Amino acid sequence: MTNSEIASVFDHVADLLDYQGGNVFRVRAYRNAAHTIGGLVEPLAAVRADANRALTDLDGIGDDLAGKIEELLDTGRLPLLEELKAQVPAAAFELMRVPGLGPKKVKQLVDALGIDSLEALEQACREKRVESVKGFGAKTQAAILDNIAFAKDPAHARMLWNDADSIVQDVLGWMRQCPEARQVEGAGSWRRGRETVGDLDVVVDSSATAAVMDHLERWHGMAAVLQRGDTKTSIRGPQDIQIDLRVVAEESFGAALQYFTGSKEHNVKLRSRARDRGLTINEYGVHRLNASADGHHTRGDTLAGRTEAEVYEAVGLPWIPPELREGGNELERAERRGLPTLIELADIRGDLHMHTTATDGEDTLADMVRAAIDRGLEYVAITDHGQRVTMARGLDRTRLLRQWDEIDRLNESLAADSMPPITVLKGIEVDMLEKGGLDLPDEILARADWVVASLHYGQQQPRDRITARIIEAIENPFVRVIGHPTGRLINRRPAYDVDINAVIEAAARTGTFLEINANPWRLDLDDRHAAAARKAGVPLVISTDAHSIRGLDVMRCGILQARRAGLEKGDVANTRSLADLRRLMAQKG
């Protein structure tokens, strides 16, 4: 079993225990374990196999949970989960997938109305029976209806890029060990860096097709062979994801990689461009089209196919980065040599949004900073939650000022230790209050090095209210950046209703930055909004919003989103040195 499968078993157990009204500490233990495991890069099987380490070294994993992990690794099953499933109505779990419906609310609905399916819940909402259940009401009922529609949409059942990536890395690593495989690359939406992916596509250069396919069938993640043909095979991998493998000859590898990277829309445009030039392009290469006497065309000489660059060159274009291949205006830009030089992970010099144990982070200030040094960052801003976020023990002025003293001392000791230079900025993530205003006074914010303002509460308010709250925050002279500006959670919750163009316009007018939150669930702003912000002259900030050391590693997801938006290094404020960033900040006011 993979880490994310084990994490999902523990999450499932937590939901079912919670549904039964189980002990809160027990529920929390399973949730925390799921969270820890879900964020682990290294496979649990490897931790277990290492004689020098124990599963119990992991945060929140005691003897009992370690035993359950071993059971899952050995048998793929957990008797506890099966017992719980037998005790809880089957529909309960389906209902818990509706955004905003947790185990407790689902239990109320099941008990009060006898709801036994998603359809029954939808029906009950339409017949206005839900609004009469204690604690529900008409507004909640309407929200549930919207959210059922959201949960039912197949577009919201796709795998997050970050989860897909760990499977892709695993399968590419395995296929590269195949002696008959010369080149092995991932293609499809994964390679284009989409937020979510439907299935995984792998292209292999080999002249021993059967041997390559056999090798894939021996991969530890292989669950079933779905289809096997002469050049293509599809298998079901971990978490039910489909993996399509194509084996091609060396002279076609670039053409196949290009073809299966897509997108379909990009390829359609590329093919039509080839036609205009008397060429034909497919997964085997670029060929000349010869007109024969009867007016038909026949395939002539092969012009390209070995590499992707050669394929694009054959139609008179420079190579186009996969993140831009969505069938927009990338061919025209390539034609006039106007493609952007896309930002890269190595361009990032600071991370300006992260949490510590002072609020809802898992690691201490000192540990977060040490991890940032390890990652080569030159500066970080510590931005724990303000006091409104009571769930996360948000900071009031006293605790915030105490944290800033701690940061002062840390900066002094870092300077004295002649470590690689890093500057820790005194920051805060203030909350935009439901009634307007922020949750900490200006006189405190004036003393911060960096202020992120986010909207976590009152997300159901109407469009003009939400927009006004955000613009008010933008107009605050001390607010530097708006955190996750639309609030969407991919597959879980749509964005709140906000006039994003008005937000961008206000940011441009005031010299306020907008965030691309790199968390794989958020990726907020998304590519289109980030492109619009860039066009309006608003500097973007790509931030991890890390709640743990490993949370710092999602920066690459934010980079992919920025690349799909066509952003260059210069468009992103935290690619600058701290001195240059400060100069840019000084333009606000």
Footprint on this chain of Zn ion (rule: CB under 5 A): 429, 545
Alpha carbons 440 and 427: distance in angstroms, whole number: 12
x/- mask, Ca ion, residues 199-228, rule CB under 5 A, reads: x-x---------------------------
CB of 392: closest distance to Zn ion in angstroms?
9
Element (H, E) at 346: none
**Residues of span 179-208 touching ligand DGT by CB under 6 A:** 188-189, 197-199, 201
Chain Cα centroid distance, residue 16: 26
CB of 355: closest distance to Zn ion in angstroms?
6
What does 350 interact with, of ligand DGT, Zn ion, Ca ion, none (CB < 5 to 8 A by kind)? none
- Per DSSP (E only), the strands in 388-438 are 423-431
Instruction: CB nearer to Zn ion: give 406 or 545.
Output: 545
Chain Cα centroid distance, residue 14: 23
What does 545 interact with, of ligand DGT, Ca ion, Zn ion, none (CB < 5 to 8 A by kind)? Zn ion
CB 291 within 8 A of CB 297: yes
Amino acid at 333: R
CB of 401: closest distance to ligand DGT in angstroms?
48
Contacts of residues 117-124 at CB distance under 8 Å and 24 or more positions apart, as own/partner, are: 117/91, 118/91, 118/94, 118/148, 118/151, 118/152, 120/91, 121/95, 121/148, 122/148
CB of 11: closest distance to Ca ion in angstroms?
26
Closest CA to 499 of 466, 531, 541: 466
Unique residue bearing structure tokens 């690459």: 556
List the one residue from 19, 30, 253, 260 that touches ligand DGT (CB under 6 A): 260
Backbone angles phi, psi at 236, to 5 degrees: -95, 130
CB of 160: closest distance to ligand DGT in angstroms?
12
x/- mask, Ca ion, residues 179-198, rule CB under 5 A, reads: ---------xx---------
Is 264 one of the binding residues for ligand DGT (CB under 6 A)? yes
Edge-to-edge order in the sheet of strand 224-228: 183-187, 200-205, 242-248, 232-236, 224-228
Instruction: CB nearer to ligand DGT: give 202 or 470.
Output: 202
Is 239 one of the binding residues for ligand DGT (CB under 6 A)? no
Counting residues that bind ligand DGT (by CB under 6 A) gives: 12
* 18-33 per-residue burial string, b: 16 or more CB within 10 A, e: under 16: bbeebeeeebebbbbb
Please give the structure tokens belonging to residue 339: 């493609």
Instruction: CB nearer to Zn ion: give 317 or 354.
Output: 354
Three-state secondary structure call for residue 585: helix
What does 264 interact with, of Zn ion, Ca ion, ligand DGT, none (CB < 5 to 8 A by kind)? ligand DGT
CB of 486: closest distance to Ca ion in angstroms?
26
Binding range to Ca ion, per CB under 5 A, among 104-112, 213-221, 244-252, 373-381: 244-252
Backbone angles phi, psi at 531, to 5 degrees: -65, -40
CB of 188: closest distance to Ca ion in angstroms?
3
Binding range to ligand DGT, per CB under 6 A, among 143-151, 254-262, 406-414, 573-581: 254-262
Alpha carbons 81 and 5: distance in angstroms, whole number: 13
Alpha carbons 329 and 350: distance in angstroms, whole number: 32
CB 524 within 8 A of CB 489: no
CB of 75: closest distance to ligand DGT in angstroms?
32
> Would you tell me which residues interact with ligand DGT (CB under 6 A)?
188-189, 197-199, 201, 259-260, 262-264, 267
